[in-house]
Structure 1
Amino acid sequence: MTDRQPIFDSVLSQIAPFNKKGVELTEATTFAGDLEWDSLTVMDFVAAIEDEFDIIITMNMQAEIETVGQLVDAVAKLKG
């Protein structure tokens, strides 16, 4: 769990500028439901995450990632 924490913290800092409603962020926070992001916001956010971690998140992966926790897991796996 400890190796996920820096990734989780960094993901939260990347979400902050896009969190217009000030939603409390947890592992279970959903991008579409809780944060109410549209596809353009998602694209901008994914680009920010890819730059931050120097990874590529495929469209297939994006389709499967619905929560903050799932994104943290995906980043950890890609950085592996």
Structure 2
Amino acid sequence: MTDRQTILDTITTQIEPFNKKGVAVTEATTFQGDLEWDSLTVMDFVAAIEDEFDIVITMNMQAEIETVGQLVDAVGKLRP
């Protein structure tokens, strides 16, 4: 399994408690459009991801991340 796939699997697992609509999550899934997350949910989820991977996602980065795949790429770049 590739490192990217491992990150994707971990992120998908982290999404589950926040996925109130039961949306099938793929790399193309959008947080605002598909999952219909509000800003508070996004903040909680980002905190969970930061804790899981021991990284910091800046507000500027958050603004650019719209899909699960983009988040996977960002985490891959930020991981030590």
TM over 0.5: yes
TM-score range, shorter chain: over 0.9
Letter in 2 for 1:55: I
DSSP-derived class of the 2:40 partner: helix
Residue in 2 aligned with 1:72?
A: 72
When normalised by structure 1's length, the TM-score is 0.97
- Which runs of no fewer than 5 residues in structure 2 stay unpaired? none
Rounded to whole Å, the distance in 2 between the matches of 1:25 and 1:15 is 8
- Which runs of no fewer than 5 residues in structure 1 stay unpaired? none
Q: Percent identity?
A: 82
Q: Pairwise mapping of residues 4-19 of structure 1 onto structure 2 (< 5 A)?
A: 4-19=4-19
Following superposition, which runs of at least 4 residues in structure 1 exceed 4 angstroms of deviation? none
Letter in 2 for 1:5: Q
Superposition deviation, residue 38 in structure 1: 0.1
Letter in 2 for 1:31: F
Indicate the RMSD between aligned Cα atoms, in angstroms.
1.1
Aligned residues: 80
When normalised by structure 2's length, the TM-score is 0.97
Residue in 1 aligned with 2:39?
A: 39
Rounded to whole Å, the distance in 1 between the matches of 2:49 and 2:39 is 15
Q: Pairwise mapping of residues 18-29 of structure 1 onto structure 2 (< 5 A)?
A: 18-29=18-29
Superposition deviation, residue 3 in structure 1: 1.6
DSSP-derived class of the 2:50 partner: helix
Letter in 2 for 1:54: D
Superposition deviation, residue 22 in structure 1: 0.3
